[in-house]
Amino acid sequence: MTPSKPHNHYQQQKHSHDTTQTLPKKVTSPTQLPEWNFDGSSTGQAQSGNSDVYLRPVAIYPNPFLLGDNILVMCETYMSDGAPNEFNYRKDAARLMQEHSDVGFWFGLEQEYTMLDETGWPYGWPKNGFPAPQGPYYCGNGTGKVFQRDIVDAHYKACLYAKIAISGTNAEVMPAQWEYQVGPCEGIDRERFCFFYCHSN
């Protein structure tokens, strides 16, 4: 069931950390978004005596989970005095990319992962045992060789919808192990990697 949203109201989900906010109108630029905050002492990003951490939007993406005009938002984190939070690595990265824009930095990411069932056991593995030796699984297809492809395909489509620069995926060397690649992206567009990784785990 897909719930309907109130007329002319839109949701934005902000990262880092995952929070959701209701907006009165459609947003087309991060400059249209308000600054927001969260309790950094609950996430290990601030001390309890000065725990407010402020979220400043820097990029927006179509939301593949809520669809429509809803968005995902990449934010930088700042403290109450306006100084960057100590874990705000993107600010320094953006500054360096700008200072050395003539170099033309390119980045790519390859992420391997294994999908586990509710007991923590890899999908497709016999209980209390091990699968057959590697060989048929890598870039494999078909019953008994690859597992959870529907999740992998949904993940891929979600990335395309969100305009994440995903460039490929493949089954890896053991059952339930997969890999995806993102990029190449230039300069601070590498934030897409971080955002992509954050939302797919």
pLDDT at 114: 97
pLDDT at 2: 41
Mean pLDDT by 10 residues, the chain (201 residues): 48 63 91 90 84 90 93 91 90 87 86 95 93 94 94 94 92 96 80 51 47
- The CATH-assigned architecture of domain 106-199 is 2-Layer Sandwich (3.30)
Parse the chain into domains and list their residue ranges.
Answer: 10-87, 106-199
pLDDT at 171: 97
What's this model's pTM, rounded to 2 decimal places? 0.80
Place of tokens 């002319």: 8
Which of 171, 163, 173 is closest to 196 using CA atoms? 163
Place of tokens 């969260």: 38
pLDDT at 192: 55
* Type of residue found at 155: H
Q: Which residues contact 116 (CB under 8 A, 6 or more apart)?
A: 122, 123, 176
pLDDT at 17: 56
pLDDT at 189: 66
pLDDT at 187: 78
What does R_g of the chain's alpha carbons equal in angstroms? 20
Place of tokens 């990319």: 97
Q: Give a three-class secondary structure readout of the chain.
A: CCCCCCCCCEEEEEECCCEEEEECCCCCCHHHCCCEEEEHHHCCCCCHHHCEEEEEEEEEEECCCCCCCCEEEEEEEEECCCCECCCCHHHHHHHHHHHCCCCCCEEEEEEEEECECCCCCECCCCCCCCCCCCCCCCCCCCCCCCCCHHHHHHHHHHHHHCCCCEEEEEECCCCCEEEEEEEEEEHHHHHHHHHHHHHCC
How many Cβ atoms from other residues are within 10 Å of residue 103's Cβ?
Answer: 10
How many Cβ atoms from other residues are within 10 Å of residue 89's Cβ?
Answer: 13
pLDDT at 200: 46
Say if 10-87 and 106-199 have the same CATH topology: no
CATH superfamily of 10-87: Glutamine synthetase, N-terminal domain (3.10.20.70)
pLDDT at 128: 87
